[in-house]
Amino acid sequence: MPSTSSPPTPALFRHIEQVHGDRPWGAFLDAGTGVNSALWSTALATERWCAVTGSASHGDQVRGRVGTRLRAQDSLLVGNWTDADLLAGEGFDTVLADYLVGAVEGFSPYFQSQLFARLRPLVKGRLYVVGLDPYVLGEAPDEAARAVRDIGRLRDACLLLAGETPYREYPAEWVVNSLQGSGFRVLAGRRFGNRYRETWVNGQLDMAVRRLPRFADPQLAAAMRGAIEALRARSLDLCRRQDGLAHGHDYVVAAEPV
């Protein structure tokens, strides 16, 4: 039986708990569920819990990890926020959009500008948006930043050449503006500095490796494999020397309906 125990609560979720204070969590919607957000939110004192994912296989993974925490009143749905019927007429006291803004690109490209307006009728109390400032664009100020940027670029190139759509991250400022234009009042926002470890380096580059068999050009796939492994070796060496790759930020934005 899969374990239902939780890892230590990440700093971003601890921050949400602090911002939320003594308010009841009530009916809780994990609007773009993942293993981490599901394990955290199903441990809260909610009246009911609902989660949405765009991938059936990912939903199975979440369900397996959450296990017996799911109660009779809880549900895990596979759906897309472009579907107007998804959770139509429902309302939730707390809504979590955990890296949902970036993930939307993989399921509904260009829908980000409509995402918060789509969620707005569902939010009866608080909305918490967790996101990641973009790191694959722009100049890199130091060696660690270049490694993180290059890993992201190589991963995304492999996804595109395999016929998939990479995630597209949006900065915190864009999220604030979009929330304000979608009927929300922003209550608080905070950035958290990132330090990427060896697990992240290997996870991102392994994702790229798994796409190589789907390249149309075998010679390009072979050349890309060499580039991936060379970047892996450089990045892991730097990671060990610098105790991780310090670059960029995650963020949490808290909002409520106007």
pLDDT at residue 106 in the model: 87
Q: How far, CA to CA in Å, does 70 sit from each of 46, 64, 75, 90, 122?
A: 11, 10, 8, 19, 21
Rounded mean pLDDT, 195-202: 96
| Average pLDDT value for residue range 178-194 | 97
Q: Which residue has the higher pLDDT, 208 or 6?
A: 208
pLDDT digits (tens, 9 = 90+) for 117-132: 999 999 999 999 999 9
Token pair for residue 252? 């949490």
The whole-model pTM stands at: 0.91
Mean pLDDT of the chain: 94
pLDDT tops 70 at residue 2: no
pLDDT of 6 > 60? The answer is: no
The pLDDT of residue 85 is above 90: yes
Hey, where are the domains in the chain? 1-132
pLDDT at 47 over 80: yes
Q: In this prediction, what percent of the chain has a pLDDT beyond 90?
A: 93
Instruction: Give the model confidence (pLDDT) of 12-30 as tens digits.
Output: 999 999 999 999 999 999 9
CA distance 104 to 80: 9
pLDDT in tens, 146-160: 999 999 999 999 999
**What is the reported pLDDT for 138?**
84
Whether residue 25 contacts residue 94, with contact meaning beta carbons closer than 8 Å, is answered with yes
| pLDDT on residue 247 | 95
Amino acid, res. 148: V
How confident is the model at residue 9, as a pLDDT?
64
> What pLDDT, on a 0 to 100 scale, did the predictor assign at position 7?
44
pLDDT digits (tens, 9 = 90+) for 89-102: 999 999 999 999 99
Cα angle, residue 182 at apex, residues 178 and 184 outer, rounded to 5°: 95
| Cα torsion through 117, 120, 126, 131, rounded to 10 | -30
More confidently predicted of 201 and 9: 201
CATH number of 1-132: 3.40.50.150
Q: Report whether pLDDT(4) > 60.
A: no
